[in-house]
Amino acid sequence: MLSPTRARATLLAAGAAAAGLLLGSLTAAPSAAAADQESCRPDGLYRTPGVDVPYCSVYDSEGREKMGADHQRRVIGYFTNWRTGKDGKDAYLASDIPWDKVTHLNYAFAHVDGDNKLSVGTDGPENASTGMTWPGVAGAEMDPDLPYQGHFNLLNKFKKQHPNVKTLVSVGGWAETGGYFDDNGDRVDSGGFYTMATNADGSVNQRGIDTFADSTVAFLKKYGFDGVDIDYEYPTTMKDAGNPLDHTLANARRAGLVKGYGALMKTLREKLDRASAEDGTHRLLTVAAPSSGYLLRGMETFQVQKYLDYVNIMSYDLHGAWNEYVGPNASLFDDGKDAELAQAGVYSTSQYGGTGYLNTDWAYHYFRGSMPAGRINIGLPYYSRGFKNVQGGTNGLWGKAATTDCPAGAGLTACGDGAVGIDNLWHDLDDNGKESPAGSNPMWHAKNLEKGVVGDYVTQYGFPADTTLTGTYVRNYDSTLVAPWLWNAQKKVFLSTEDEQSVAAKADYVVDRGIGGTMIWELAGDYDWNAAKGQYEQGSTLTSAMYEKFRSAAPYGATRSTIDLPSEALDIDVAFEQFPLGDSNYPIGPKLKITNNTTATLPGGTEFQFDYATSAPANAKDQSGFGTKIVRSDHTAANNIGGLKGDYNRVSLKLPAWQTLAPGASVQLDFVYYLPTSTPSNWTVTFDGASYALAGDLARGTTLVQPGTGTGPSPGTEPGGSGGDCSADAWSATAEYGTGTTVSHGSHTWKAKWWTKGETPGSTGEWGVWEDLGSC
């Protein structure tokens, strides 16, 4: 999540290069929960083996989140810890939040401290989270029943009045992914997520992950949060991604970042599940996810989606002053004219299928490939981005801003000419303490620019009270993009904005497609009109507009598949792995590994089918003789102007006629595709006249069986069967195993990398607890 305020460079390479397709791994299905709780589990959500997770405390019997009768879709607002008013600028406190309009609040930010624990710094009167007070501020009176003060006190005070609103602590962000700010406000380059989750040699740092996860559980209980939101920017293999201050640490670990991210999310899910079972209340685990095809190309198939209650897409910062291409901050659709994509050959290179990938609709479809629509939320920016000295384009749109030197510390060699001064109110400072040109403004200031008003707040930002505006800021709107912007023809300034028209259109998009809701960065940018002063100020106009759209909407989409899947499922593992590092991963060529964990031999000609998202064109293929072909595409247009028309491409591949797959055996094939997609889903396998689902899809309503028998394991056991004739003891779902213990399972021998219980060998993925020592 980008903070337009902390002292850091604002430049991201969010859309700077062509993208490549990413696929991922499926894990084995969880053991059966108590019937009532399992009925509430969201479709595709992983459940910790052996734990009776209290899903029904948060979800209904359809697996939809319970948020109150007038909240059919999520409105998630980020609430930041630094708008305290102590710096002489307007505060934004818990009392300013439109509590009746939001469903969730993400508190930004906590960080990973030097001991790999979740922290908001040392307690004390200057700690905004736990110690600060606001004497004389109406609504900011402390709740005397709580043992802490600060924002956490106020959040819990208002939660008592609005019990349907859930709060999550958000960890990381742009500035604090690879380090943190100490009590003096100085950044400590501790390594943050990069070193907590991944060792210097690229291996998983399970000890650091366990420490962080344990501290997270304790933190949520201590301060009354309903869950944790991980804002790790970014666990991608793309070189120089993320904050330039973190590049040295991150680049050295690129090969292991995705594995570490997966291990982190799995560990958090399992520890939260165990704590939830103890407390009787399900704890939420969410992430802020990139929308950039460039970043997602280096995140394989975003395999962590199965551990998340939902994902919040950072579908903004799609264009900005990190390069010269002038475009919208957060367009909903592609229009086929994106100058950055055109320069990269996206529209003219046949493999891309004319698919423009710098828009919200593309990012939504990326995640739709592996998740129900209701477990996805699209991001809305309550801030602008902009350029000056823009040449060409239509009132600046798709023009160019001359390249110029980048702010100190930006980590880039050439940037676009970003807007400054009165057009950059929420600017950050570069490493030399100078203004970072970015055209970053809260929407209330952008509305005043549009109206020709100089608000009385400008003195708080260093401008004299008699400041006047040069030129006029004319509002423009493109209905294909769903994007408003301000154009000052005299100054050649372009400011990409959001307003009632664009937010209403995006809310309609959410409703029409069954999407879970929206996520806002950040609430303090919203506006209201103050008639007495004749100016726009902080308010809740846009948030209220979304609430009104959502309050009477139909329930969100709770099912991942758009076709009827078999009710019987087999323990056959499929994993997309061995991805080259992102910068070398185009076209994308992972290995697809299929492992038969059943007791039956799969004959030659066995057919596998699966769906992958229409974020990638319908041109996937294999190079290993499995006859991969697209049997259905929900999007058949020559481009995605105005949006992708459907969710899935359905693929068929078959075991060659001469090849069988015995119990415990694996087969591997080379796969190729061209734009990112998340983990393929909705698998079926057909042989001997019967079709089955795959247990690893974690679909609601499926029963694990052995082929041809209609029977599964006894209650409390996991898929995979016994160890057969192997010398090591057969794995048991109820036994505890220490580091180095070997077991037999599925005709293979497995070694535990650390203590484990209830995790099926072969189901935990390459970063999991079990190391495959080979067949036996």
Separation between Cα atoms, residue 313 and residue 56, nearest integer Å: 26
Q: What is the mean pLDDT of residues 537-551?
A: 98
The highest-level CATH class for domain 736-775 is mainly beta
pLDDT tens, position by position, 135-170: 999 999 999 999 999 999 999 999 999 999 999 999
Separation between Cα atoms, residue 614 and residue 366, nearest integer Å: 7
Separation between Cα atoms, residue 103 and residue 108, nearest integer Å: 16
Q: Give the per-residue pLDDT at 711.
A: 57
Q: What is the mean pLDDT of residues 54-79?
A: 97
Domain limits, the chain: 384-497, 736-775
- Mean of the per-residue pLDDT values for the chain? 92
Q: Is the pLDDT of residue 27 over 50?
A: no
pLDDT tens, position by position, 745-776: 877 788 888 778 878 887 666 667 888 787 66
Q: Is the pLDDT of residue 327 over 80?
A: yes
Residue 377 binned pLDDT confidence (cut-offs 50, 70, 90): very high
Q: Give the per-residue pLDDT at 48.
A: 96
Q: Give the per-residue pLDDT at 213.
A: 98
**Residue among 617, 622, 652 at smallest CA distance from 636:** 617
The two tokens of residue 773 are 């020592």
Q: Bigger pLDDT: 693 or 720?
A: 693
Q: Give the per-residue pLDDT at 11.
A: 34
The 3 state secondary structure assigned to 714-771 is CCCCCCCCCCCCCCCCECCCCCEECCCCEEEECCEEEEECCCEECCCCCCCCCCCCEE
156 phi/psi in degrees, rounded to 5: -70, -30
Paired sense of beta strands 376-381 and 517-521, if any: parallel
The two tokens of residue 444 are 């209330």
